[in-house]
A and B are shown apart, each in its own frame.
Chain A
Amino acid sequence: MYTIPRILACGDSALSVEFGDDIDDDINTRVLSLDRNISRQMIAGVIETVPTYRSLLIHYNPFMTSYTSLKRDLIPLLNNQQLSQIDTNRKWSVPVVYGGSFGIDLEMLASEKNLTENEFIKRHCQVEYRVCMIGFMPGFAYLGGLDPSLATPRRKHPRPDAPKGTISIGGEQAALQSVVGPSGWHWIGQTPLEVYAPDRHPMCLLDPGDIIRFYPVEQEAWSHESERCAAMICDAAK
């Protein structure tokens, strides 16, 4: 973590407040905390914010503010910023069918690490993950907290069309992919939970700061678990 956050121009209509240059819970907490402070303050000219692992990207209207004055507006928020608890760290239990055609890379990853598939699944399920950021594709959730023994460098060549619901590992990161799209990560399972649906409220079930726990289910339980997930989304909409 940097002692003083860095403010970087991203062109003439956005700036980035960078708190560090690695993947770290404390850094991410600062990012999310600044994000929430800004959304409460209504700073002139701010259009939208994008929290990521280690920085907050702020899109602004250059006709309503400027790089210089927005930086000035941010200083008090950065000075007073406490490592606050994130007030929306909701917890989600997410079912996953591991291996086989649902996670075509599980067998290879487990054998690479001299683990049985069951041991691999157990290590993937026994930790709490934090949604550090959402992006690249709609609803794609980047998760922090992976057991380091499961970390695996990304594939040299990305594959097209990872199915929606793909649970994957890329380097030290875990992910939950919500829509079909290319992926250079290793696919270990699939969830019936539809994190993202454009016509639904909430459109995206997860928010940065949320906590996720996975639990393994059998392939036969897919439709039953889909119903449980749909009910969970209904509750969230209330």
Chain B
Amino acid sequence: MSRLIVVAPGVSSIQDIGRFGLQRYGVAPTGAMDTGSLRRGNTLVDCTVGTPVIEIGPLPARFEISGAPIRIALTGAPRTLSINEKNAALDQTHVIREAETLTLGSARGATFSYLCFEGGLLAEPQYESSSLDERAGFGSPLKRRLQEGDILEIPSATAWPSERSAANPQSGLFRHDVIRVILGPQDDYFFPETISQFLSTRWRIAISSNRMCYSLDGPKLAHAKGYNIVSDGTVKGSIQVAGSGQPMVLLADRGTIGGYPKIATLTTVDMDRFVQIPPGGEVRFEAISVERAQSMLRTQAAHTALALKAASNPRGVNEDALISENLAGSATNALDPAAFD
């Protein structure tokens, strides 16, 4: 076992695929904001997709290793990564040795990065998840965000024939143009003109945005039948229109129940692209049917599975090593669409 010492955490927390089954008691799933980057990183380090990782926000961060070497991969937001002041590639595995430092620059044009570890960082899941949920009192090994001086236990690296890398399988991830949505469930609380206005506006992600909710700056949207609905359930991607007329996109750490009309919901195919838009970034929405959204999701999953399969192969194929390590077999979990949430 090795130790990762948090020298400068930026804004980071431990997240995995999320905690499901407790929304009926008011506990949100939380989990990684950008689940595609979580899956890619965990696949690179040969873990199942839901393994806990460190989600790192846009600020610079720094870690130091103590003990035996560990293997990492950093996915998500474009930013500089250096190992002992030497530049290192994103979307690639790296071995880091005793006393070496891992330095992340500021995120560029996106928000979240995922620092993934071979063997997964040591945690005791509660309700099958280690994701941080401060309000509900869940999170392992920490029930709060990372702080300077924290020490996390990481399994030591094993011998690999060569390191793995992934061409970004979601090419276009950081093109922030159009995000597809499905209208409703309360689009009937808005005039048709208001829905057209919602779909034709270039919205700006508010500075106040966080893991709970991204507010959208732009025109105020008028409610046709008042703004007090009988409170009902929310999902990741619900777009509520508050009493003030400002749309708010509810995300991983949202309240499970909301009392404002929901004009539309983000599609899963565009969710990761949306959550990576940094505060101040712009977005436009396009409405599609739920049937189309689901068929696009299946196509995307097939493409992602192929890209991840490629990512799980070492560079320069060494067939003997492949067979002995059973890499393809170990990647199966990560590629199973059923494991996707």
Contacts and interface: CB of A to CB of B under 8 A. Distances in A.
A221 to B, nearest CB: 27
Contacts of B233: 10, 14, 16, 50, 52, 55, 57, 135
A75 interface: no
A22 B230 contact: yes
A89 interface: no
Contacts of A140: 26
Interface majority SS (helix, strand, loop, mixed), chain A: loop
A203 B26 contact: no
A9 B26 contact: no
Contact of A63 (B25, B137, B237, B337): B337
B297 A138 contact: no
B291 A181 contact: no
A8 B297 CA distance: 19
Interface in B274-298: 290-291, 293-294, 297-298
Nearest to A65: B294
B231 A12 contact: no
A135 B255 contact: yes
Contact of A204 (B25, B234, B262, B340): B25
B266 to A, nearest CB: 6
B287 to A, nearest CB: 12
B246 to A, nearest CB: 16
Contact of A66 (B256, B267, B294): B294
Given A10-B238, A134-B26, A138-B25, A67 B291 contact: yes
B53 interface: no
A142 B257 CA distance: 11
Nearest to A68: B291
B25 A62 contact: no
B23 A59 contact: yes
A156 to B, nearest CB: 10
Nearest to A63: B337
A41 B340 CA distance: 23
Nearest to A53: B230
A54 B27 CA distance: 20
Contacts of B290: 9, 11-12, 67
B86 interface: no
Contacts of A204: 25-26
A23 interface: yes
Nearest to B292: A12
Interface in B286-316: 290-291, 293-294, 297-298, 301
A59 B235 contact: yes
Given A51-B24, A59-B23, A138 B265 contact: no
Contacts of B23: 48, 50, 57, 59, 135
A176 to B, nearest CB: 12
Given A61-B341, A136-B256, 17 more contacts: A8-B184, A10-B238, A11-B235, A12-B293, A14-B235, A21-B230, A47-B341, A50-B23, A50-B233, A50-B256, A51-B24, A52-B257, A57-B233, A136-B255, A137-B255, A138-B26, A181-B135
Interface of B: 20-27, 126, 135-138, 182, 184-185, 229-235, 237-238, 255-258, 262, 265-268, 290-291, 293-294, 297-298, 301, 337-338, 340-341
List 8 tightest A-B contacts by C-beta distance, closest first: A57-B233, A11-B265, A135-B257, A8-B185, A198-B137, A204-B25, A135-B256, A12-B293
